[in-house]
Amino acid sequence: MSSAAAVFTHGGFYKHFDSKADLMAEAAERSFAQAVANLAGVDAAAFVREYLSRPHRDAFGSGCTLAALSGDAARQPALIKQAFAAGIESELATLASQDVALSESDKRAARAKRIDTLAHVVGALMLSRACPDDSPLADEILEVSRTRILSKS
């Protein structure tokens, strides 16, 4: 939908934000909030299977903010990087919901494993998306990464 169809002018839309960075940070925060809501109650194996699936790979418009925008966020102002860091922490915390009974050292080890898994799935999705849609390599990246991550569980 165009801004004209939404009855917004370019200036009318942007006047609601102090800067483009404010707009980008709020968009990232909302996207991470939706991701956290979708993660609630999902176990790690189900997360990996869904995240590294062909339907998720092909869902550019509704897929993961991390896979879509991390490369761009790295070159943005601190406000946007802070929104990404907070979003990553929220996702890690949501995936940690089953850690309550663990000892402190086991919680640290579980967090390290979650960070490793998140970095692995995001990187694998980005690599797969960088390949042509019909590329066997695109599917191979997803399958190999999914299998490797799940075999460590």
Q: Which domains does the chain have, with CATH numbers?
A: 18-151 (1.10.357.10)
Q: What is the pLDDT of residue 99?
A: 80
pLDDT tens profile 86-145: 999 999 998 887 787 888 899 999 999 999 999 999 999 999 999 998 899 999 999 999
Residue 3 or 138, more confident: 138
> Does position 75 have pLDDT exceeding 70, yes or no?
yes
- DSSP code per residue over 66-101: HHHHHHHHTTS-HHHHHHHHHHHHHHHHHHTGGGTT
> Does position 15 have pLDDT exceeding 90, yes or no?
no
Q: What is the pLDDT of residue 39?
A: 84
User: Rounded CA gap, 76 and 115, in Å?
Assistant: 22
Q: What is the pLDDT of residue 35?
A: 86
> Does position 4 have pLDDT exceeding 60, yes or no?
no
User: Rounded CA gap, 36 and 122, in Å?
Assistant: 15
Residue 59 or 97, more confident: 59
Q: What is the pLDDT of residue 126?
A: 95
Q: What is the pLDDT of residue 7?
A: 58
> Does position 8 have pLDDT exceeding 70, yes or no?
no
Average pLDDT for residues 7-11, to the nearest whole number? 57
